[in-house]
Amino acid sequence: MQFKRPKTIKDTQTHYCPGCGHGIVHRLVAEVIDELGLREKTIGTAPVGCSVLLYNYFDCDIIECAHGRPPAVATAIKRCQPDKVVFTYQGDGDIAAIGTAELIHAANRGENITAIFVNNAIYGMTGGQMAPTTLIGQKTTTTQNGRDRKKQGPPLKVCELLASLEGVAYLQRVAVSTAKDVIIAKKAIKKAFQNQLDGKGYSLVEVLSMCPTDWKVTPKQAVDFVNNEMKAAFPLGVYKDV
């Protein structure tokens, strides 16, 4: 068996840290775009956060958005070009803190776009501050004694939040911390793109992912953290499938 680079991924090294999950998620998205033959009709949006530079790795049209605004930008692109495929790729700060309004309303309007949400429970690019999805008790540079439910509230659960919205077509939470999880993640991402081709409306895949650098653990410990802690706080599964 030959392990080839997807056509939608450029032949270059990434800036991601060892053990980071973004590389896996990038590859899965690129494989799906390849398999569905969408590279030449796809427009992706880049968020603010570690994956802002995803245009250095994806070989398709990309627009870099202001922090949290990809759902609004993608809304307009898809409305103006309904025959094209539009995806957003956002981290937890982008989608669940500063961009909450744009997320909820794009989803509720049922915009026919595909959203990839990478949840690693921390602000990576800025150096490890608390994210809206940081776990209770998790230490970050702005919750140095651990996230306190009374002060910072519990982690925000995007799939559960969006599941109540009638406009949403598909929601699934997956992980990339085991081989089996990666296979499930790819199927979910493919379905989220296929839904757009079928005109079903807003589809979002939340991916639990590793950030060993800002969690201050080894890559192996980061995988364990996803499997043991994150999956408990953010149960995997399909939250909506219309």
Partner 1 sequence: MSKPSKKILLKGNEVLSQAAINAGCGFFAGYPITPQNEVPEYLSKALPEAGGIFIQAESEIAAINMLFGASASGVRCMTSSSSPGVSLKQEGISYIAAAELPCVIVNMQRGGPGLGNIRAAQGDYFQSVKGGGHGDYRLIVLAPSTLQEIYELTMNAFDYADHYRNPVLILGDGILGQMAEPVELTKYRPIVDLPEKDFVLDGCKGRERRVIKTLLLQPAEALIEFNEYLKKKYAGIESELKLCQKYRCDDADLVVAAYGITARIAEGAVDMARDKGLKVGLIRPITLWPFPDEDFRAVAEQAKKLLVVEMSNGQMIEDVKLSIECSRPVEFYGTGGGWYPTSEKIMEKIESVYE
Which positions lie near partner 1, rule CB under 8 A?
Answer: 39-43, 46, 52-53, 55, 59-66, 69, 72-77, 79-81, 84-85, 101-102, 104-105
Beta carbon nearer to partner 1, 15 or 220: 15
**Residue closer to partner 1, measured from CB, 84 or 187:** 84
Which residue, 67 or 231, is less far from partner 1 as judged by CB?
A: 67
Distance CA 132, CA 60 (A): 30
How far is the CA of 216 from the CAs of 63, 141, 210, 219, in angstroms?
A: 32, 11, 11, 9
For 151, residues 6+ apart whose C-beta sits below 8 A from its C-beta are none
Give CA angle at 108 (105, 114), nearest 5°. Answer: 90
CB of 117 to partner 1, least distance (A): 18
Q: How near is the Cβ of 48 to partner 1 at its closest, in Å?
A: 8
Q: How far is the CB of 204 from partner 1 (least distance, A)?
A: 17
- Which helix (H) or strand (E) segment holds residue 122: the answer is strand 122-123
CB of 76 to partner 1, least distance (A): 3
Q: H or E element: which one contains 23? A: helix 22-35
CB nearer to partner 1: pick between 60 and 188: 60
60 or 135: CB nearest partner 1: 60
Measured from the CB of residue 10, what is the shortest distance to partner 1 in angstroms?
A: 9
Contact 107, 165 (CB under 8 A): yes
Sign (positive or negative) of CA dihedral 165, 168, 170, 171: negative
Environment class of residue 180 by beta-carbon count within 10 Å: exposed (0-12), middle (13-18) or buried (19+)? exposed
Q: Per the structure block, which two tokens stand in for 72?
A: 């609004």
Q: How far is the CB of 70 from partner 1 (least distance, A)?
A: 8
Q: How far is the CB of 210 from partner 1 (least distance, A)?
A: 24
Give the other-Cβ count within 10 Å of 41's Cβ.
15
The residue among 101 and 183 lying less far from partner 1, judged by its C-beta, is 101
* 46 phi/psi in degrees, rounded to 5: -100, 140
Which lies closer to partner 1 via its Cβ, residue 64 or residue 224?
64
